[in-house]
Amino acid sequence: MQKRKLGNGNLEVSALGLGCMGMSFGYGPAGDTQEMISVIRAAVERGVTFFDTAEVYGPFTNEELVGEALAPFHGTVVIATKFGFKFDPDTRKQAGLDSRPEHIKQVAEASLKRLKTDVIDLFYQHRVDPDVPIEDVAGAVKDLIQEGKVKHFGLSEAGVQTIRRAHAVQPVTALQSEYSLWWREPEAEVIPTLEELGIGFVPFSPLGKGFLTGKISEDTKFDKGDFRNIVPRFAPENRKANQAVVDLVGKFRQQKKATPAQIALAWLLAQKPWIVPIPGTTKLHRLEENIGAVNVELSPDELRELETAASKIAVQGARYPEELQKLVGR
């Protein structure tokens, strides 16, 4: 597995990471714990060193799963987790945002226990909290870094002004936001800012929440607990219209003798040397397919051809329902 450095933060990770959220949360019922542990450990055996979780996934159960799966590999893998939500003490359900410095420090202690580790490699603010100045957030993480409890600071779905302000207090190692062939908004402002400041980029949903694999059609029925049921882009009529993106990827896949998922990931890897996508999966064969993307090289001509064709396709449907969209890009 090739390695990449996330920005100037000197954090070296495998060129592809593993997003672990879907093992516990978001796409229907949680996976069987032992099966999920074996998928995570299979990723380590195949050279993946970068694993992504968050306290809100579950809540809490995904960190526990990742902590158990990776306990034998401390020191050889990088675990990223996130803070920034508050929870109802009775139901454990998410109840808004909370990035107050004292809360960040409590979350760090709890995450360290669940992850069975003494240091968090990369600690992201999960969503920007409008009630807490980002300077205070960055300052709290800076304290945790000085105490040796955290190694690197990250932001998720933040806008460029927030990134700049945070970076001035505590250098930001990575930004995690959605980016793929069918969600390219970061190209306008975010990616140039990251390049200027020397910050790595970790795209989540690099396969368009599964859509770019070509395995989802307008007729696909999702589990009742699946987040995609409320995503406008996944409404059946939008899936039908957006099939054009999958068809485009499919054309290249024949040329390259690769799968649609591998083309979509190879495209992302070709954008910048400091981009590390984190596709998620619960299945070993999909994990192996995704890892295969690091060996698919798109030539400059192929990238241009893909670019030109993709720019002519207008993707239909918002990527989030309105109330969730309000939390991004602040």
* Burial annotation 277-295 (CB, 10 A radius, 16+ → b, else e): bbbbbbeeebbebbbbbbe
pLDDT at residue 297 is higher than 90: yes
Characterize the bridge pairing of strands 50-52 and 11-14. Answer: unpaired
Residue ranges of the domains in the chain? 3-210+268-296
pLDDT tens-digit readout, 167-223: 999 999 999 999 999 999 999 999 999 999 999 999 999 999 999 999 999 999 999
Mean pLDDT of 290-304: 96
Amino acid identity for residue 194 in this structure: L
Active-site amino acid positions? 57
* Confidence grade of residue 272 (pLDDT, cut at 50, 70, 90): very high
120 in Cβ contact with 141 (< 8 Å): no
Mean pLDDT of 4-11: 94
pTM score of the predicted model: 0.97
* Confidence grade of residue 8 (pLDDT, cut at 50, 70, 90): very high
Mean pLDDT of 305-327: 95
Which two three-digit tokens encode residue 263?
């083309």
pLDDT, position 269: 98
Mean pLDDT of 149-157: 98
Amino acid identity for residue 265 in this structure: L
Q: If we measure between CA atoms, which residue out of 181, 215, 182 comes closest to residue 286?
A: 215
Cα angle 190, 176, 112; round to 5? 150
pLDDT, position 228: 97
Tell me which fold the domain 3-210+268-296 belongs to. Answer: TIM Barrel (3.20.20)
Separation of alpha carbons 268 and 191, rounded Å: 12
Separation of alpha carbons 50 and 47, rounded Å: 9
Radius of gyration over every alpha carbon of the chain, rounded to an integer in angstroms: 19
Helices (H), 84-159: 101-114, 134-146
pLDDT, position 9: 85
pLDDT, position 127: 98
